[in-house]
Amino acid sequence: MDATANHPEREHPGKETPREEVETVTIRFCGDSGDGMQLTGTEFTKSTAIAGNDLATFPDYPAEIRAPAGTLPGVSGFQIHFSSRDIYTPGDAPDVLVAMNPAALKTNLPDLVAGGVLIVNKDAFSDVNLQKAGYGQNPLDDESLARKYRFFKVDISGLTERALAGSGLTSKEVALCKNMFALGLMFWMYGRPMEATIAGIRRKFAKKPQIAEANVKVIHAGFNYGETAEMFAHKYEVKPARLPPGRYRNVTGNQATALGLAAAAQKAGVRLFLGSYPITPASDILHELSYLKNYGVTTFQAEDEIAGIGSAIGAAYGGALAVTTTSGPGMALKTEAMGLAIMLELPLVIIDVQRGGPSTGLPTKTEQADLLQAVYGRNSEAPLPVIAASSPADCFGAAYEAFRIAVQYMTPVILLTDGYLGNGSEPWLIPNVEKLRPIEVKYRRDPEGFQPYARDPKTLARPWVIPGTPGLEHRIGGLEKDFTTGSVSYDPQNHERMVRIRAEKVAGIAKGLAPTEVFGKPEGDLLVVGWGGTYGALHQAAEQLQAKGNRVSHLHLRYLNPLPPDVGDILRRFRHVLVAELNLGQLAKILRATYLVDAASYNKIQGKPFKIAEIVNRCREILEPDGARA
């Protein structure tokens, strides 16, 4: 909420609350996981999208399914960042914090920017709840809050109850509506359209109209409260962003991934087969795809991750576009089977929605620490392409691209996304189906001169031959195979030749890549390098630094193996190279080994994405080492 950093007078309310224009706002809704914060956030998002802002969101669930009500581990949050400009992250820190109970206040208040708007449901600050949150005394009585923030105590629960007096709802049902009050208040404050939300509620509760109307009523109550309470000094306007024209929808990364996969199969004209075992935060891809049975999409919930990839290998052998989805620990279990897919040279997409580790780690938190596992984590020389998505919406294109490479080069491909991308959302310009790059599936059918491992001279791909093709009966397997016939071969020279050609095939993918784009000048003092879900933070950090005249550029790698051919040159054109990753320096290791460039690392391993400011500060330290030391 850049434009409002200077405190407006709180003592000056007016009937006609002025609407102040701001460029960018970050709001965080937080409360008990039973308080419906995810729904509140999603509805606000929808409405903000319709208002034409660019936006990005970040939900933050508790690890427990239902932690005991009112406790710290039970806090659930949803952050939305929206703007009249391009937006790339869900925001470093909220400008507005809506806290529905003491536990939520306790865990989230440290993030609120100084001078930000703080709205609390004061009715929830009962002794019991204060105790559960570990507050010795009621923080609402603390005067410093009002000094540090624009602080509003609202009796949300009570107002909700009053709004629904006589509605015939049980008090439990009434309590469940209070999030709608907060939503309505925010709708008022940011001038959001409410129609879509209201229509959606009526659809959702079509069979319980009483509930639907109660919710609608409470939204209005919240809105009207803002309008009438003479409490809020300002309402704000965030003008629509100048987004490229077209039809938009909001997607999470997992939805976009699912759509990308389905789109690839539809374009290729073949069945999509997903073999998967549920795991947080990847399960939603399975959920999404399991709805698409009328799209030639088969989802198979396997008994474990090995059967997940195993079944996908079987389906790929049968001619399907096959994919398996998982997260870190499940990825570890699939590595033996990946080796088989590499030997068989069948197309297959393996998606790892990375999460905090090692081991079970922080399953609901994000991290980027499976890169080395993806690139190197298999027995023997088992190369395969690895690509990464850089934003929720980008997951669509990345998934699509994964299949394109898999089919063109007859190889398993790993796509890395992460929990932050998977659960986060942003507006997505719905692509024109006609214009999607074609994916050409050509099964070999001709028995003439057929050799299972004869290769396409350009791509080095072997033919895709599927059972059911007369005259091409043959056997494949995990033992080393003859260079041409694919029969088992123990010949030493043949082995070396095969190991090398498999490596060459994967390395050769780089030749087909478009020149790598650098954001900023092609040379300079500092190149910030990243990959995957940190795109937004790095991009905006570079933008800020560039705006201040720094010679800083940003390189974001989609292709992690093989690396694009021009990366070495790009790196060498900068005085400093900083690789920023949510791990201990994994991409940096690869770049250093490949290019012998003294790339420095900036690492964060907290289960959370980078903040833009963190990147900016680190860059400043590099650019002005003395200043930083001072």
Partner 1 sequence: MSANPLPVTPPLTKKDFQSDQDVRWCPGCGDYVILAQVQRVLPELGIPRENIVVISGIGCSSRFPYYMNTYGMHSIHGRAPAIATGLKVARPELSVWVATGDGDGLSIGGNHTIHVLRRNVDMKILLFNNRIYGLTKGQYSPTSQVGMKSKSSPYGSLDAPFDPLRLALGAGGTFVARAVDAEPAHLTEVLRRAAHHKGTAFIEIYQNCVVFNDGAFDYMTEKAAREETRLVLTHGKPLVFGKAKDKGIRLNPKLEPEVFQIGREGDLSQCLVHDETSETLAWILAHLQPPKFPTPVGVFRAVSAPTYDAGVHEQEEEVRGKKGAGDLAKLLGSGETWTVS
Q: Return residues touching ligand SF4 (CB under 6 A).
A: 65-66
Q: What is the DSSP letter of 3?
A: G
Among 337, 389, 413, 528, contact with partner 1 (rule: CB under 8 A): 337
Q: Which two tokens stand for residue 99?
A: 């806290």
Among 145, 503, 510, 513, contact with its own copies (rule: CB under 8 A): 503
Under the binding rule (CB under 8 A), the answer on residue 290 touching partner 1 is yes
d(CA 346, CA 18): 63
Under the binding rule (CB under 8 A), the answer on residue 362 touching its own copies is yes
**Judged by CB under 8 A, which stretch of 199-207, 239-247, 365-373, 551-559 contacts its own copies?**
365-373
Under the binding rule (CB under 8 A), the answer on residue 329 touching its own copies is yes
Q: Which of 162, 197, 172, 185 is nearest to 34 (CA)?
A: 172
Among 4, 71, 108, 586, contact with partner 1 (rule: CB under 8 A): 71
Sheet holding 297-301, edge to edge: 297-301, 272-276, 321-326, 348-354, 412-418, 386-388, 559-561
Under the binding rule (CB under 8 A), the answer on residue 379 touching its own copies is yes
d(CA 206, CA 393): 31
In the complex with partner 1, the residue whose CB is nearer, 161 or 284, is 284
150-154 and 117-121 as β-strands: parallel, antiparallel, unpaired?
Answer: parallel
In the complex, least distance from residue 339 CB atom to ligand TPP, rounded to whole angstroms: 10
d(CA 393, CA 30): 25
In the complex, least distance from residue 256 CB atom to partner 1, rounded to whole angstroms: 10
Count CB atoms within 10 A of the CB of residue 624: 12
In the complex, least distance from residue 199 CB atom to ligand SF4, rounded to whole angstroms: 31
Give me the amino acid identity at 509: I
Binding mask 460-499 for its own copies (x = CB under 8 A): -----------------xxxx---------x-xx-xx--x
Q: Which residue has the tokens 């550029």?
A: 553
Q: Which one of its own copies, ligand SF4, partner 1, none is in contact with 378 (Cβ closer than 5 to 8 A by kind)? A: its own copies
Under the binding rule (CB under 8 A), the answer on residue 50 touching partner 1 is yes
**Between the CA of residue 277 and those of 282, 307, 349, what are the distances in Å?**
9, 8, 15
Name 430's Cβ contacts closer than 8 Å, sequence gap at least 6: 246, 247, 248, 249
In the complex, least distance from residue 304 CB atom to ligand TPP, rounded to whole angstroms: 7
Sheet holding 117-121, edge to edge: 150-154, 117-121, 96-99, 24-32, 75-83, 54-60, 425-429
In the complex, least distance from residue 288 CB atom to ligand TPP, rounded to whole angstroms: 17
d(CA 437, CA 9): 55
Q: Which one of partner 1, ligand TPP, its own copies, none is in contact with 377 (Cβ closer than 5 to 8 A by kind)? A: its own copies
CA atoms within 13 A on the CB side of 482: 9
In the complex, least distance from residue 596 CB atom to its own copies, rounded to whole angstroms: 5
Among 135, 188, 236, 273, contact with partner 1 (rule: CB under 8 A): 273
In the complex with ligand SF4, the residue whose CB is nearer, 65 or 630, is 65
Q: Computed from CA positions of residues 330, 336, 338, 344, in that sequence, does the dihedral angle turn out positive or negative?
A: negative
Under the binding rule (CB under 6 A), the answer on residue 278 touching ligand TPP is yes
d(CA 610, CA 89): 9
In the complex, least distance from residue 194 CB atom to its own copies, rounded to whole angstroms: 35
Largest CA distance in the chain: 88
In the complex with partner 1, the residue whose CB is nearer, 403 or 610, is 403
In the complex with partner 1, the residue whose CB is nearer, 42 or 561, is 42
State which of positions 343-362 bind partner 1 (CB under 8 A): 344, 359-360
Helix (H, G, I), strand (E, B) or coil at 46: helix
Under the binding rule (CB under 6 A), the answer on residue 330 touching ligand TPP is yes
State which of positions 213-242 bind partner 1 (CB under 8 A): 240
Under the binding rule (CB under 8 A), the answer on residue 584 touching its own copies is yes
Burial track 454-487 (b if 16+ CB lie within 10 A, e otherwise) = ebeeebbbbbbbeeebeebeeebeeeebbbeebe
CA angle 290, 297, 418 (to 5 degrees): 60
Under the binding rule (CB under 8 A), the answer on residue 41 touching its own copies is no
Number of residues that bind partner 1 (CB under 8 A): 97
State which of positions 443-462 bind partner 1 (CB under 8 A): 443
Question: Which parts of this chain interact with its own copies (CB under 8 A)?
Answer: 63, 73, 327-329, 331-333, 335-336, 339-340, 342-343, 354, 356-363, 365, 367, 369-370, 372-373, 375-382, 477-480, 490, 492-493, 495-496, 499-500, 502-503, 583-584, 589-590, 592-594, 596-598, 604-608
Question: Which parts of this chain interact with ligand TPP (CB under 6 A)?
Answer: 277-279, 305, 329-330, 333, 336, 360
